[in-house]
Structure 1
């Protein structure tokens, strides 16, 4: 534990050196916490349909999103959200067996929303090529959120990508070429709760020199092949985040909303604050208590943490 304590202290010192003793608390989607309600809903352009069928999700995460299939539906929903005072939306959806979303069907709707509203539009892009990346940027998408894994086996076995990491490489290259900001998400414990390839994923992310990087943790869901998997140990996740700070000292580090609930979250959140995390989505009380004990200035935002 002494070595972990030292790693957390070193990471926090680096974080504060670059960003100050500050913590942004974020409420994505329509979550409510601490008397605030998120104003950045997630939208699925495929409804509840997903043909990729990743082992950790099997389309269940789509059920929490607002459906908007097709450009007209997306435009109409976006106009309603803007009228309600929403700040933006995360556009996502289910994938085909190659990991692709039907972006061509909604580009017109995205472009109209970017032109006619003040909504901040971000996209969980899945697998895209250069032409689609350029089209998304031209339409007005602010950020491309991309899951980054470092294990060929995990990409094939868990994500069911027939050509493994090639899909990820294609997408990262396409976004770089298009000048579309990438917000990489490193999923810890994706392969049945084991840390397999996460440090390789960190090296891939470091090569991008990102402004921000998001860490998420496997959340075993019922009725999926990973329903009985145990998330990686809290200390293992905290150690990874501390090492990530040493590798990416100037980037903003975020702990995303996808992570286990309950005692796991409370323990992890506290350690993340000790490691100098810059942004935290849907925090536990443990995070705020740790922030107070360290004298960290806390601010609240009602958006996706990728905008931090």
Structure 2
């Protein structure tokens, strides 16, 4: 049995013959820091905060969920307690998904009444943590923070493939650690070369590298939902990647290419359409 057959067999053994596709138009992305990020990471430099609504003017009318995010401080933390009154105003009737970074236990306790799920970026390489984020943390620090957060909330780890300028650097170690620690679900992202960042001139990892990781993840986490998240390159790369992800047995794809939707139908999968962040609804 080759790796593709093994991955599909693992999927078939543990999940119904269906796949979810999400277009998260009912999730309001909110930034607690506006467009400001003190950390200016090599892959982002605060660019993606510009697509979020500042918390001061956030209006959740018509939305069923919110992504509560923001820029990092110099210690790699989102200032999660800075606007709790405004977060509380958004809370009624909505599911809240948080980006928190490397917060401490006091901070998670403070926001716990407003947390439904935490999306936690997990790194598996000390050099990647230093080069991308500019932080002095180690993988052990990420393990401790992940374990601590799980004592207080549902946590879904995110692993970005090629985060270190398009090169794999610790992704398989991250997968191994998370497999040992246990995960409710795993979100896989792919590095996007972004204008105005230190990695603007880099290329994303090859499709073969990404596909091999998805296959390894499907086999290692046979009974765990795996999602291909929203952060990944567009164009022909996305078209081909999304198709490979379907073949590799992922459970959900965010903003899928049309070709992947057709392929899922050809594979005999029932399609479930969702309208929120991938971590909010089930497998």
Query: How does the TM-score come out when normalised to structure 1?
Result: 0.87
Aligned equivalent of 1:65: 52
Ranges in structure 2 where 5+ consecutive residues have no aligned partner = none
For the residues of structure 2 that align with 1:175 and 1:142, how far apart are their CA atoms?
Answer: 12
Q: How does 1:31-46 map to 2 (within 5 A)?
A: 38-46=25-33
The structure that is helix-richer by fraction is 1
Aligned equivalent of 2:86: 109
Is 1:165 matched with 2:142? Answer: no
For the residues of structure 2 that align with 1:207 and 1:130, how far apart are their CA atoms?
Answer: 22
Is 1:128 matched with 2:103? Answer: yes
Superposed displacement of residue 296, structure 1: 0.8
Aligned equivalent of 1:288: 261
- Provide the aligned C-alpha RMSD in A: 1.5
For the residues of structure 2 that align with 1:173 and 1:112, how far apart are their CA atoms?
Answer: 29
For the residues of structure 1 that align with 2:45 and 2:90, how far apart are their CA atoms?
Answer: 30
Aligned equivalent of 1:185: 158
Extract structure 1 runs of 4+ deviating beyond 4 A: none
Superposed displacement of residue 176, structure 1: 2.4
For the residues of structure 2 that align with 1:264 and 1:56, how far apart are their CA atoms?
Answer: 18
Match of 1:154 among 105, 110, 128: 128
Superposed displacement of residue 228, structure 1: 1.1
Contact 2:97 2:115 in 1 (8 A): yes
For the residues of structure 1 that align with 2:47 and 2:40, how far apart are their CA atoms?
Answer: 10
For the residues of structure 2 that align with 1:102 and 1:125, how far apart are their CA atoms?
Answer: 8
For the residues of structure 2 that align with 1:55 and 1:164, how far apart are their CA atoms?
Answer: 17
Superposed displacement of residue 166, structure 1: 5.0
Contact 1:51 1:95 in 2 (8 A): yes
Match of 2:41 among 49, 54, 70: 54
For the residues of structure 2 that align with 1:271 and 1:53, how far apart are their CA atoms?
Answer: 32
Superposed displacement of residue 207, structure 1: 2.6
Size of the alignment, in residue pairs? 281
Contact 1:12 1:277 in 2 (8 A): no
Superposed displacement of residue 200, structure 1: 0.5
For the residues of structure 2 that align with 1:59 and 1:164, how far apart are their CA atoms?
Answer: 23
**Helix, strand or coil: the match of 2:226?**
strand
Ranges in structure 1 where 5+ consecutive residues have no aligned partner = 29-37
Contact 2:81 2:111 in 1 (8 A): no
